[in-house]
Amino acid sequence: MRGKEYPLSPPSGRIPVSRVEIKTFCYPTEDRERVVSAILALLPEDIRDPSEIKGTKLRSVHKFSFEELRMEIRGPRAREVMAWIFSRLPEPDRIEILETLEKRIDGSRLYIRIDKQEAVDGSLRLHRGGIGGHIHVVAAFSRAVPIDLISELLRGGECGEEVHRPEGKARE
């Protein structure tokens, strides 16, 4: 079965993602349902299922209680999730990932941090620090991360608009 195509996604199966792990923390000052909705914003609408998100209660060394919320997506759905995330990121964020791609890779894993507050509001943007925290996305590949394919996907490749670099932002 062929996965859904998103504006920037290559044909399903070309991205050898075997698993995507999404996790974040929910602090006592946050509404758990809003944090869950932020996680679900990272998924294509047809696979959003809050029951798939597992919570683990944690306590800091200072006796501060919080919860880790985590979900894992495997197989063809994992490819759909990564295509969905990449297609929803604004152009400047895709450029930033392109320019920092090698730093985001460790072995067969690609690491991306999404701004949690933006996701609560329904937008996907890279996290750049500050209040609100982040949602950690780890894409595990069945072999070494295919940098060329990820670059093509982020640039739009054959399935979307080409990412244009702003003046003075040439890639080194």
Percent above pLDDT 70 for the chain: 81
Please state the rounded mean pLDDT for residues 18-41: 96
Three-class SS state of 90: coil
pLDDT, tens only, 84-143? 999 899 999 999 999 999 899 998 999 999 999 999 999 999 999 877 799 999 999 988
Residues 6 or more apart whose Cβ sits within 8 Å of residue 150:
15, 101, 110
Given pLDDT bands bounded at 50, 70 and 90, which one contains residue 1?
A: very low
Given this model, what pLDDT does residue 131 score? 73
Given this model, what pLDDT does residue 151 score? 84
Indicate whether 37 belongs to any domain.
yes
Indicate whether 79 belongs to any domain.
yes
Q: How far is CA 46 from each of CA 43, 53, 57, 81, rounded to the nearest angstrom? A: 8, 15, 28, 11
Range of the domain at 69: 17-158
Given this model, what pLDDT does residue 14 score? 64
Indicate whether 94 belongs to any domain.
yes
Token look-up 């739009």 returns 156
Given this model, what pLDDT does residue 128 score? 92
* pTM summary value: 0.81
Residues 162 and 8: their CA atoms lie apart, in Å, by 9
Domain with residue 111: its CATH number is 3.30.1440.10
pLDDT, tens only, 147-163? 888 887 787 643 333 43
Indicate whether 36 belongs to any domain.
yes
Our count of domains for the chain comes to 1
